[in-house]
Structure 1
């Protein structure tokens, strides 16, 4: 029996891991994101799919540790000074959004026939967005550290804090709620305050000495155990104090954010965080009760649509009232319009005290899960409603009838540096880019950049490409760069085109497109880096220069062979023989030609 039981448990573990390993890469390959992959996998193997699991709640309960660890890692990125700077967003923007969306959703519940108590609980549960899903999407999109991403995180933190008073309100609204004395309420508040104070004191005075002691012992596995102890211990302390475990982990992360062991802690916790967070999404997928949806699909879909639309409207209005741009407001709406994992906690508490019956509890839970599953699709749809054309043009001039010696397309990190020596020699340059935020930022430093898409022939003509002595293509999009080079050489065949290449493969594409000069963006800086290392190690400068020249020569010969020897000759690459380049435009040195095309080793 024991062997059979352990085999059954092993089958379940293998099924959990296998479902995630199979589903997530497929969904990411399809552009649907990992969250939706986990949800679909959970539905497939859960009690309403293949039936490999019958108690999704148990898995969800364990997997909530993934959310706890996720918030700990977020806390590590939020130094106290940085968190203090976000206080207006957390308690201003976050509170405003919770209040407005809560009022709208409560009103919708009353119109749907719920009592005001049930409407309030149902609406406020849906107001609490999914920290796990939103943070996962922000991380995958690389936006967690951007100003807009920080505002979203601030709202999530306030919503996480809101679960505490909401749970207290559920107890007050219960039909058979017992009278709680004022003294008991003050005792509860005192315990919560003591838990927070104790955690802060431990974080400030005990954790760093503890980790120094463990590091001196040299036991790596003990450091990992200590990292987990800090996360789970702080979560437990907050729970015992009547607060959120996730907020306890977040606070612990903030307290350790300026510690010298911060990166070590993050590396130790990250594998557990990833696995448990995946299990959390799997558990959410398993919890989707298809029988309830089949019985009341019309009501559930109406709730999903009504709650998401009204909540999205509230998010957008609050964002615009606090001066967010349209694109940021729409993005925030798509990210936060769903219900979240704390809704399950609130609804379970409401069901436990008799506010929600079992059927309504199941319907509301299904509503939240469906909204969570729709979030990746909503984020994917952003590209159709937030476009370059929709950018604010305040303080931005459109390229029109420009006349300069050079036309530079793309004013990112590469274009900015490439333009400096040219401007220093007094060469006049027309610069165009299609990122209005960057154009406004450049204006604050005295650089005049015009709005324009270099992949359009009409924009090239308006920017003066037909008058330019040379065109510099410095965009960071490989496909766009190749397209611009092809367009320029087709329309202005006598004008030299200099192009930024991403790697060797892209360099070859640019050569075939007709670029007169192409250079991989990291080649010269990497060569200089290696040369400086050699000099530091004691190699004579003359020897360093000889080594660097030899690397350039061999790299040029490799490229020449890949091109078949018919477009550039290796000798021409080394000597910089480009007859189309106007004399005096860019000075060349025979031993260091700017035409030397880099390649991947």
Structure 2
């Protein structure tokens, strides 16, 4: 019997992992994102799909640890000084958005015919945006550290803090007698316990955690460091939960307290695998908790509620963002990302149900509305991305190329272009530089380089950048198609200039030769040759012997390249295969070992 029970539990684990492994790559492949893949997989295997799981709430509670660990990692990136710099966005923008959205969403609930207390609880639950979904979407597109991403993070932090006073408000809204002194005393006791838990966590973070990790690091036991990292996250979450506060906020605060620790990167590396797995499990749990029976019975109310609340919340967020002087594009992006309810709504609705503020029917309907809004968010984000015109490039602090004149024109000033231009600058030749990345131009300006804005694929821009008078044009961009296009334009319009182009790979190098460039170099070839030279010396060769080996490699590569140019790629690859085994090719053996290599049997 015990073996059967263990097998049953193992089947559930395999089912969860299998659903994620199948659904997430499929949904990402068709452009719907990983979040929607997890939600769909959870719905498919949950009690209202195939019925492989009967209690999604248990999984959801366990998977909340993914959100907890996610906020701990975010906290590690938020140094106290940086967090202090966001105070206006956290408490100013955050409170303004919450108040406006709360008032209007309460009005939506009353317009649907619900009493004011029920409308208020439902509205405030929907105001609490899903930190997990928004942070996942921001992370997938790399916007968490961007200015507009930081504003969203600030609002999310304020909303996470808000769960504490909201739970207190729900307790005061409970239908109890006004003169119940015991109830009032217990509420004040809860406040005191919460403050005590908060102070205890701050004290531990300031005076206990760093010495603890120093001792563990000296012990040289990697698994103990991982265990300690988990202990910090889960311990902080537990302490906050015992104090009646948000587990996620406890983990975030622990991360902030450790953000200036020398062990910060080690902690992040230890927590990251657990964070990703549990966060995916959380989305699976959310998908499972969508009660299709409730949706089927009350679909007119639920569908209308989802559309009305998402629309009103999005309009509120957009209006507040514009009032706070965000651009139209940033305000619209924020409205689309945050127009859903979140995981803390389930906590608030459960507390309101326990206190008798809402009934089970309202709880089931509002839970379905929140889950559907979370599931719709990735779809809305994708639709917004496809329908929105490309954002105009901000040229603030950037000069466009016009009337430039130099002996050398450099197109692209990234890592490759910066190095390639050093020799010309050292020679003292006049040089013009253009790039189409405004951020790169601003960064170069801070180091004393004047880089002009310009698209090198356009002949008029090249004229303005001085290509007609240049003796050499260096194409240093990392876009294969654009580099080939520039080469074709330069050879047609500016034949007087020597054309030197950065090639992406061998195939691209052949394309450039067909375009008539004067010189091309594969971007990683020379650095790889340098490393290969050092590797040969590391296995016992002298510097002279290493030079001979690398020269042989260069000669063979040049032969293959010529063969590919004249006889096609197949001929070159045949030569590669014929020389692949070092024991069959004396040129790869160390000097003095060639005869031995030749005498060995094949």
Q: Give the structure-1-normalised TM-score.
A: 0.83
Cα shift at 1:449:
4.2
How far apart are the structure 2 equivalents of 1:305 and 1:128?
Answer: 17
CA distance in 2, matches of 1:433, 1:229: 48
Q: Does structure 1 residue 252 correspond to structure 2 residue 266?
A: no
2:152 maps to 152
Task: Note if 1:271 corresponds to 2:273.
Answer: yes
SS in structure 1 of the partner of residue 521 of structure 2: strand
Q: Is contact 1:39–1:373 with CA below 8 Å preserved after alignment?
A: yes
SS state at 1:120 partner: helix
Q: Given that residues 47 and 286 in structure 1 are in contact (C-alpha distance below 8 angstroms), is that contact kept between their aligned partners in structure 2?
A: yes
Query: Residue 189 of structure 2 is aligned with which of 170, 187, 190?
Result: 187
**1:83-162 to 2 correspondences below 5 Å:** 83-162=83-162
Question: Partner of 2:307 in structure 1?
Answer: 305
RMSD of the alignment, in Å? 3.5
Point out the more displaced range, 41-50 or 182-191: 182-191
Q: CA deviation at 1:512?
A: 4.4
Q: 1:318-349: per-residue Cα shift (whole Å, max 9, x none)?
A: 33333334433333333222221111111222
Structure 2, unmatched stretches of 5+, are: 573-602
- Counterpart contact for 1:334–1:382, Cα < 8 Å: yes
1:515-594 aligned within 5 A = 515-524=517-526, 553=555, 555-564=557-566
Q: What's the CA shift for 1:70?
A: 1.4
Report how far residue 283 of structure 1 moved.
Answer: 0.5
* Alpha-carbon separation, structure 2, partners of 1:233 and 1:214: 17
Aligned to 1:75: 75
1:363 aligned partner: 365
Post-superposition Cα deviations, 1:350-380, rounded to whole Å, max 9, x if no partner, equal 2222333323322222222222222223333
- C-alpha deviation, 1:54, in angstroms: 1.3
Q: Is the 8 Å Cα contact of residues 338 and 371 (structure 1) preserved in structure 2?
A: yes
8 Å contact kept, 1:319–1:329: yes
Residues 1:214 and 2:216 are matched in the alignment: yes
Matches within 5 A, 1:417-566: 417-423=419-425, 425=427, 427-443=429-445, 447-456=449-458, 459-460=461-462, 463=465, 465=467, 468-489=470-491, 495-524=497-526, 553=555, 555-564=557-566
Distance 1:452 1:85 in 2: 35
CA displacement, residues 184-224 of structure 1 (integer Å, 9 cap, x when unaligned): 44433322221112112222222233333334444443333
Q: Which secondary structure does the structure 2 equivalent of 1:100 belong to?
A: helix
Cα gap change, 1:133/1:481 in structure 2, threshold over 3 Å: closer, same or farther? farther
Task: Confirm whether residue 18 of structure 1 aligns to residue 18 of structure 2.
Answer: yes
Query: 1:516: how far off?
Result: 3.3
Does structure 1 retain, via aligned residues, the 8 Å contact 2:329–2:391?
no
Structure-2 change in CA distance of 1:457 and 1:367 (3 Å): farther
SS at match of 2:474: strand
After TM superposition, give the deviation of residue 20 of structure 1 in Å: 0.5
Deviates more, 1:303-312 or 1:397-406: 397-406
CA deviations 1:421-442 (Å, max 9, x no partner) are 4455554555444334444555
8 Å contact 2:501–2:519 — kept in the other structure?
Answer: yes
TM-score where L is the length of structure 2: 0.83
SS at match of 2:373: helix
> Quick one: structure 1 residues 468 and 334, their matched pair in 2 at CA, closer, same or farther if it must change by over 3 Å?
farther
Write the deviation string for residues 393-439 of structure 1: whole angstroms up to 9, x where unpaired.
Answer: 44445556666555443343433444454455554555444334444
Q: Which residue of 2 aligns with 1:280?
A: 282
Distance 1:539 1:97 in 2: 68
- From the superposition, tell whether residues 558 and 331 of structure 1 become closer, same or farther in structure 2 (CA, over 3 Å): farther
**Higher radius of gyration, 1 or 2:** 2
Change (3 A) 1:114 1:488: farther
Shift in alpha-carbon separation, 1:451–1:265, aligned structure 2, 3 A: closer
Of 233-242 and 294-303, deviating more is 294-303
Cα 1:10–1:554 shift into 2, 3 Å: same
CA contact (8 A) 1:408 1:474 kept: yes
Matched, 1:41 2:41: yes
Q: 1:354, 1:73 → 2: CA distance?
A: 37
| Aligned-pair CA distance for 1:249 | 1.2
- CA 1:474–1:312: 2 relative to 1, 3 Å: farther
Q: 1:460 to 1:35 in 2, by over 3 A?
A: same
Counterpart for residue 31 of structure 1: 31
Residue deviations 1:282-336, cap 9 Å, x none? 0001111222222333332332233223322333333333333443333333322
Contact 2:143 2:149 in 1 (8 A): yes
In the alignment, the residues of structure 2 paired with residue 160 and residue 77 of structure 1 have an alpha-carbon distance, to the nearest angstrom, of 17
Indicate conservation of the 8 Å contact 1:75/1:250, yes or no.
yes
* Residues 533-542 or 31-40, more deviating: 533-542
| Mapped contact 2:471–2:496 kept (Cα < 8 A) | no
Contact between 1:388 and 1:435, CA under 8 Å: does it hold in 2? no
CA 1:539 to 1:102, structure 2 compared with 1: closer, same or farther past 3 Å?
farther
- Secondary structure class of the residue paired with 2:94: helix
Following the alignment from structure 1 to structure 2, what is the Cα–Cα distance between the partners of residues 370 and 513? 54
Counterpart-to-counterpart distance in 1, 2:399 and 2:287: 49
Moved more, 545-554 or 253-262: 545-554
Q: Report if the CA contact (8 A) 2:125-2:349 is conserved.
A: yes
Q: Which moved more, 1:193-202 or 1:385-394?
A: 385-394
The 1:209/1:393 distance shift into structure 2, 3 A limit, reads closer
The question of whether the paired residues in 2 share the 8 Å contact of 1:388 and 1:434 is answered with no
1:249-283 Cα deviation digits (max 9, x unpaired)? 11122222233333333233222222211111100
**In structure 1, distance between residues paired with 2:329 and 2:415:** 24
SS at 1:499 equivalent: strand
The 8 Å contact of residues 171 and 177 in structure 1, kept in 2 or not, is answered as: no
| 1:374 corresponding residue in structure 2 | 376
Q: Using the alignment, how far apart are the partners of 2:416 and 2:253 within structure 1? A: 39
